[in-house]
Amino acid sequence: MTAHATSPTPASVAARVGAIPHLSMDDLWALWDDHFEERPHHHHRVWLESRLAYRMQERAFGGLKPSLRKKLEDVGETGILPKQLRGDSQRLLPGSVLTRIYDDIEHRVLVRGSNDFEYQGQRFKSLSAVAKRITGSHWSGPVFFGLKAPASKKGAV
């Protein structure tokens, strides 16, 4: 009877990825060498772990389609989302942090959930309420935090 190579199961890949943070640096570098041709010039452990986790999953389950990779690279280079995704960008995920410099002060807002934002330890039901707290006047929260263009600029070409 011959042994056949089996595809890794999601559970086995998850277990290997989950073990990465517990590896010593020597073991982490050995794993890196198994998955990459060369080492990076820096030694930022969290970055190394994330790249290894991605590579392990990519090898087990396949990578991105070339067309999707190209779209993501374009977004990364230009910062412009395709039209069909622009509406989705308005949906903020819990844990997201919005940053805005206003009057030479950096203001950070934590998105806790739908209609739930935290600014300086206080909870707000809208970004507009946070923007009003920061500026002292009425603002559209999404406009203030750069999530959407001001109404006056929407029609401009």
Tell me the three state secondary structure of residue 66.
helix
Tell me the three state secondary structure of residue 123.
strand
Cα(107)–Cα(95) distance, rounded to whole angstroms?
A: 16
For residue 130, pLDDT over 80 is answered with: yes
Confidence at residue 22, expressed as pLDDT on a 0 to 100 scale = 96
Other beta carbons within 10 angstroms of residue 48's beta carbon come to 21
Please give the sequence-ordered ranges of beta strands (E in DSSP) within 114-156, or none if there are none: 116-119, 122-124
As given in the structure block, the two tokens for residue 2 are 């011959």
For the whole model, what pTM was predicted?
0.48
Cα(87)–Cα(9) distance, rounded to whole angstroms?
A: 35
- Cα 107 to Cα 78, 116, 145: the distances in Å are 25, 17, 10
Q: How many whole angstroms from its chain centre is CA 147?
A: 15
As given in the structure block, the two tokens for residue 60 are 């087990």
Confidence at residue 36, expressed as pLDDT on a 0 to 100 scale = 96
User: Which of the two residues, 61 and 114, has the higher pLDDT score?
Assistant: 61
Ranking 9-18, 43-52, 74-83, 115-124 by mean pLDDT, the lowest is 74-83
